[in-house]
Amino acid sequence: MPRLLAVFLLLCLTACSSTPPAPGERDLDHGVIIHLFQWPWESVGRECATVLGPAGVAAVQISPPQEHRALPGHPWYADYQPVSYQLTSRRGERQAFASMVSECHAAGVKVYADAVINHMAAGMGQSFPKVPYGPADFHSCGRSISNYQDRFEVQNCQLVGLADLATEQEAVQARIAGYLNDLLALGVDGFRIDAAKHIAAADLRAILGKLTKPAYLYSEVLFSAAEPIKPEEYQDFGTTLEPRYGEILARHFRGDSLSLLDARLQTLLPQAVTYVDSHDTQRGSSTLSYKDEAQHTLAVQLMLAHPYGTPLVMSSFAFNGFDDGPPSLSDGTTKQVVCGEGWVCEHRTVLSMVRFRQAVQGAEVQHLWATDAALGFARAGKGYFAVNRSAEPIKRTVQTGLSGTFKDVITGQTHQISGELILTIPATGAIALIKE
């Protein structure tokens, strides 16, 4: 997304309440997804084969694969300005993309593509001959969205100047579906639908109804209580992202008492894809990011330990300015990933928690306790997790409901447990115990 849109979205992410879920509704989990943000295809394939597959990661989310506009300075948001549906981008060509998908599949890792289908690039009029799209294929609102309380304007006017596709038209739907089906034919397993709330749910449903095989779908529907467009409109054909989740965790790891966390989580969507930070929010202050170091790591560990939702873990490149794109050559081609050389690779610091999540899959939360700075809970006979955001270790006797020898997947230490456990949680640290 372009800069003005991203800034607007950072301001729009506000808390609102919903009906608490019925028991068991929060257990829908498709495994851990790692967002390899703007990684080139060769590096994604290598990471799947050497790191993610062996760690048990379920899937990667990749950046938009279609041809995009080349902008001065090569900002990150250029990827969200399509000029065609050809698989040529600064991350690689079509054959490199196909090879990446095959390599990830061989490692047991699924591939979810970020699908930018609401709009085409700004500043190019309404002519995209490679698709082909012409003026009749776009909405003619004539202005950018200014009133997010007006459903028509949100779904028919330009998103900060981006050419808004007339997604209600059969021909447009067919071209978009053709692009998605091309990706499916290359082995892509699912899609994150970018800017989904700017596409009428009926239009998106019609497009997805043209897919040639099943795909896992999760839609970006950023919302607030004051807006008419709600995530529930988009959930009969997939799930949605939960933008409030990362904001809530940020509040608690920055100072709010952890004793209030569970009640706030109960206000969220019954089912969702969750994240601590995203490529949009990490450039603002509403959520944590890799720049928050230990706080960010602890929040991601908690997300992976708790059963709510399907976790999406961010893996970033380092940035100073808002516009900064990935490490690149002078022509804008993205450099291959070398962690520590412009690439943060923060996902690698939490991979042990993927093992924890797999080991406790399906087990409900029990014996929950929380103080201002610490929190712990058991996962019904399968494991135990505790986190401490304070600068001093915390010692506490806890009821675990566990019996036997358990190993901390974070530190490697073992514990013999028979119900109660005298637990020392490290300063700004966590423990995650599973059966040895």
32 pLDDT higher than 60 = yes
Write down the pLDDT at residue 7: 36
Active-site option among 137, 194, 247, 323:
194
Looking at residue 29, its pLDDT comes to 73
Q: Are residues 397 and 305 in the same domain?
A: no
Last residue of a domain, one of 304, 328, 359: 359
**Which pLDDT belongs to residue 24?**
32
Catalytic residue among 220, 242, 247, 277: 220
Same domain, 16 and 65: yes
The answer to whether residues 321 and 347 belong to one domain is yes
Looking at the fold, whether 350 and 381 belong to one and the same domain comes out as no
pLDDT in tens, 164-176: 999 999 999 999 9
Active site residue 194: yes
Q: Is 220 a residue of the active site?
A: yes
Whether residue 25 is predicted with pLDDT greater than 90 in this model: the reply is: no
3-state SS record for 279-306 = CCHHHCCCCCCHHHCHHHHHHHHHHHHC
Tens of pLDDT, residue by residue over 142-161, are: 899 999 999 999 999 999 99
How far apart, in whole angstroms, are the C-alpha atoms of residue 416 and residue 142? 68
pTM above 0.85, yes or no: yes
CATH number of the structural domain spanning residue 204: 3.20.20.80
Q: Indicate the pairing of strand 365-370 with strand 59-62.
A: unpaired
Tell me the per-residue pLDDT of 356-397, one tens digit each, with 9 for 90 and over. Answer: 999 999 999 999 999 999 999 999 999 999 999 999 999 999
CA distance 11 to 24: 33
Residues 323 and 382 in one domain: no
Kind and range of the H or E run holding 12: helix 3-12
How far is residue 275's CA from residue 35's CA, in Å, rounded to a whole number?
A: 10
Q: Which residues contact 44 (CB under 8 A, 6 or more apart)?
A: 36, 60, 62, 100, 104
Are 90 and 67 in contact by the 8 Å Cβ rule? The answer is no
User: Between 123 and 109, where is the model more confident?
Assistant: 109
Last residue of a domain, one of 307, 324, 359: 359
Q: Using pLDDT thresholds of 50, 70 and 90, give the confidence band for residue 12.
A: very low
Percent helix, strand and coil across the chain, each to the nearest 5: 30, 25, 45
Largest CA distance in the chain: 70
> Who wins on pLDDT, 3 or 120?
120
What pLDDT is recorded for position 15? 32
List the structure tokens of 268: 């969220």
- Which residues 6+ apart lie within 8 Å of 82 measured at CB? 64, 66, 67, 68, 69, 116, 119, 120, 121
* 401 and 280 inside one domain: no
Give burial (CB, 10 Å; 0-12/13-18/19+) of 406: buried
Query: What average pLDDT does the structure give for the chain?
Result: 93
Give pLDDT, residue 125.
86
Summarize the confidence of residues 214-234 as an average pLDDT: 96
pLDDT at 430 (0 to 100)? 98
Looking at the fold, whether 171 and 66 belong to one and the same domain comes out as yes
**Two tokens, residue 168:** 């209600």
- Whether 326 and 376 share a structural domain: no
Q: Which residue has the higher pLDDT, 8 or 104?
A: 104
User: What confidence score (pLDDT) does residue 20 get?
Assistant: 32
Q: Of the residues 344, 359, 374, which one is the last residue of a structural domain? A: 359
pLDDT band at 133 (very low <50, low <70, confident <90, very high): very high
* Count: domains in the chain: 2
CB 149 within 8 Å of CB 228: yes
Is residue 8 scored above 80 in pLDDT? Answer: no
Closest CA to 338 of 317, 324, 354: 317
Gap between the Cα atoms of 107 and 70, Å rounded:
33
Q: Is the pLDDT of residue 27 over 90?
A: no
Average pLDDT over residues 308-335: 97
Same domain, 412 and 265: no
pLDDT: is 3 or 281 the higher one? 281
Domain extent at residue 424: 365-435
User: What pLDDT, in 10s, does the model give residues 193-213?
Assistant: 999 999 999 999 999 999 999
Same domain as 393, residue 304 = no
* 275 touches 311 (CB < 8 A): yes
Residue 14: what pLDDT? 33
**Strands (E) located in 89-199:** 110-115, 119-120, 163-164, 190-193
pLDDT recorded at residue 1: 45
Identify whether residues 98 and 51 lie together within a single domain. yes
